[in-house]
Amino acid sequence: MPTIRLTDRTLAARSRPATRALMQAAVTAQRAPSIFNTQPWRWNIHDETAELRADRDRQLPVVDAEGRMLTLSCGVALHHARVALAGTGHVPAVSRLPDPQDPDLLAIVGIATFASASPTVVRLHQAIAHRHTDRRPFADQPVPADGLGRLRDAAEQQGAHLHLLPPDNVVLLTVAASRAADAELADPGYRGELAAWTHQTAETGEGVPLDTTGPVGRRRVPVRDFAPEASNRPVIADIAERQARYAVLFTDGDDPASWLTAGEALSAVLLTATTNRLATSPMSDVIEVPSARRVLYDLIGRTGHPMVALRIGIPADSPQPAPGAPRHSGAALITAADAEA
Ligand SMILES: Cc1cc2nc3c(=O)[nH]c(=O)nc-3n(C[C@H](O)[C@H](O)[C@H](O)COP(=O)(O)O)c2cc1C
């Protein structure tokens, strides 16, 4: 199934400026991070609108039976597309979950008007190409408070909230993450899903490559072990992470509209972190396992619904940037609807 589908493939339609801008935005949004790098979205471009649809064939039945992480991932792609449009001078008009009879239609995106992009939006747009999930140990330097404040503002602007854990609460996140890891790794169904999405070749354009999963070692807060059976990964006995900060992104509601909002906010937070030279890695195992999610609910003061946790730090002083995960890319993404028949 193609990721981007044009309903009208005539040259006239393809060369329409709005169609071209929406196609370009959908291609850029392909860089969005997603659960297990499943890229569970599809874009249908009709005339001057782009429909964002959930791709249920890419839902993870064990990890994500409800589709929460799928919808969150689609929200990240939606925000990436909005930034891509705004960054090229198009003010997007977005209608979210517009049809109650069609819950997989997550958004319809059009172009409201034109306006030159602000420097902030230009930086966010540029950050899309540079952002990676960074699971390596962070540098032993404190994260500046003003950077953390910008991440909080970014979440609020999208209608969500970012709770930064005070250092003496981190131990509770450690409890939640350990509990989540133990519960998931004990489930053969989970292990099967993990193996299916971590043992792909780069050519498939999806999944989590082994070289992005970070070293093996004891961490202050465990990160998801993507390859529990792999024996050829670098080992660091004690990954101290003294200066890492942890945060919980949460929303007021807990329904598909809130999950979509959480995804848009996650995108805004991750891209803002990139523009502030901060490294990040999302943690959703603590949401997937109900008893761990309950700990996060307590950690945010029972004021909302935890959607994803984040590990934030100063990137390691390494000559290599964080390795990237592949994407379905290029022209193969775009297929004209009538060419499929
Ligand atoms: C909703 C969501 C949940 C994620 N959960 C985790 C997680 O629990 N642990 C982790 O290390 N990475 C997690 N990630 C990061 C993805 O694995 C990552 O985005 C994907 O493999 C693509 O890599 P990239 O972010 O470097 O482009 C999550 C990302 C999203 C959007």
CATH number for the domain harbouring residue 75: 3.40.109
| 89 and 155 share one domain | no
pLDDT value of position 335 = 64
| 198 and 274 share one domain | yes
With a 6 A CB cut-off, is 285 part of the ligand 1 pocket?
yes
| 95 and 71 share one domain | yes
Cα-based distances in Å from 27 to 233, 280, 322, 330: 33, 23, 22, 8
| 226 and 334 share one domain | no
Q: Are 286 and 176 in contact (CB under 8 A)?
A: yes
State mean pLDDT over 220-225.
94
Q: Name the percent of the chain lying above pLDDT 70.
A: 96
**pLDDT tens profile 31-70:** 999 999 999 999 999 889 999 999 999 999 999 999 999 9
pLDDT value of position 257 = 98
Q: What pTM was computed for the model?
A: 0.96
Does the pLDDT at position 341 exceed 60? no
Name the residue among 99, 118, 100 with its Cα closest to residue 108.
99
| 170 and 88 share one domain | no
pLDDT value of position 340 = 46
Give the separation between CA 131 and CA 122, rounded to whole angstroms.
14
How many CB atoms are closer than 10 A to CB 100? Answer: 7
| 119 and 153 share one domain | no
State mean pLDDT over 302-324.
90
Q: Are 70 and 104 in contact (CB under 8 A)?
A: no
**pLDDT tens profile 113-141:** 999 999 999 999 999 999 999 999 999 99
| 40 and 112 share one domain | yes
| 266 and 117 share one domain | no
Does the pLDDT at position 334 exceed 60? yes
**pLDDT tens profile 224-261:** 999 998 777 888 877 878 899 999 999 999 999 999 99
Asked if the structure places residue 137 within a domain, the reply is no
Distance 156 CA to ligand 1 centre (A): 21
With a 6 A CB cut-off, is 68 part of the ligand 1 pocket?
no
pLDDT value of position 12 = 75
Structural domain for 26, as ranges: 4-130+328-340
What is the residue type of 191?
Answer: R
With a 6 A CB cut-off, is 69 part of the ligand 1 pocket?
yes
With a 6 A CB cut-off, is 33 part of the ligand 1 pocket?
yes
- Average per-residue pLDDT for the chain: 93
pLDDT value of position 241 = 86
Query: Token pair of 297, please?
Result: 């609910």
**pLDDT tens profile 160-172:** 999 999 999 999 9
- Higher per-residue confidence, 110 vs 334: 110
Give the separation between CA 222 and CA 239, rounded to whole angstroms.
10
Mutate to test the pocket of ligand 1, among 34, 73, 185 (most ligand atoms within 8 A of CB): 34
DSSP character string of 99-147: -TT-TTEEEEEEEEEE-PPPHHHHHHHHHHHH--B--SPPPSSPPPHHH
DSSP code for 71: H
Mutate to test the pocket of ligand 1, among 200, 224, 267, 284 (most ligand atoms within 8 A of CB): 284
- What ligand 1 atom has the least distance to the C-alpha of 322? 26
Give the separation between CA 51 and CA 46, rounded to whole angstroms.
8
Q: Residue 305's beta-bridge partner residues?
A: 251
Does the pLDDT at position 174 exceed 90? yes
Does the pLDDT at position 338 exceed 50? no
| 279 and 179 share one domain | yes
Count how many Cα atoms sit within 13 Å of the Cα of residue 175 in the half-sphere of its side chain: 12
pLDDT value of position 105 = 98
> For position 279, which CATH number holds?
3.40.109.10
Give the residue, by CA position, lying nearest to ligand 1 atom 6.
283
Query: Token pair of 33, please?
Result: 């991070």
| 159 and 246 share one domain | yes
Asked if the structure places residue 90 within a domain, the reply is yes
Q: Name the percent of the chain lying above pLDDT 90.
A: 80
Using pLDDT thresholds of 50, 70 and 90, give the confidence band for residue 11: confident
* 96 backbone dihedrals φ, ψ, rounded to 5°: -95, 140
**pLDDT tens profile 84-107:** 999 999 999 999 999 999 999 999
Distance 11 CA to ligand 1 centre (A): 37
| 256 and 111 share one domain | no
Report how many domains make up the chain: 2
